[in-house]
Structure 1
């Protein structure tokens, strides 16, 4: 498996549709967390603030994987009922629009977690 150092390098290797969705997510995260820095962590795009990764994301063949850590999955379980989730994962199918408002709320939640702890 190729090891990535930069998000732009990661995105360049994606299939066109996956790259388009990933770029939209990238821009959404940059807007939702303007003080965060993007990085590659666990060989996928992530944003970090105050030395803590806020969220990760990675396109797959069938969905966009959004990894906000475990706490938001529990905190927003009612809003996530239409998505397949696991301990720290939200699977967003490509045939559904990105839940922009929900992603923003989850990112704000994560920012609060890393700035108050």
Structure 2
């Protein structure tokens, strides 16, 4: 993979076709949850931004898709996120299992509301 990407489309295109499909759907899910968002490359990965400021980052890896950071949640949502939590502020969604796009959308909407 290149060190730098000029656009989110270029970033996604650098992955195998099956991962591209997942990354595109994650991107669409984030934008559906936060309609006024735009995106750009920041820290060498896609960032969904609101008013020019990064809200969430998403990234493709060999065996998972990651989403960063995690917003403050209530106990019920925290329990739903627990199987995907990895380290402080990171969610990892294994590519070997169905990706919970609805959960990703709820995280994005919550984080946007908190901002």
- Normalized against structure 1, the TM-score is what? 0.85
Partner-residue secondary structure (3-state), 1:86: coil
Match in the other structure for 2:60: 59
**Count of residue correspondences:** 112
Q: Which runs of 4+ in 1 moved over 2 A?
A: 74-77
Structural RMSD (CA)? 1.7
Unmatched segments (≥5 aa) in structure 1: none
Partner-residue secondary structure (3-state), 2:83: coil
Unmatched segments (≥5 aa) in structure 2: none
- Normalized against structure 2, the TM-score is what? 0.86
Q: Deviations over 1:42-97 (max 9, x none)?
A: 11011011333111111111111111x2434x654211122242111101001222
Match in the other structure for 1:2: 3
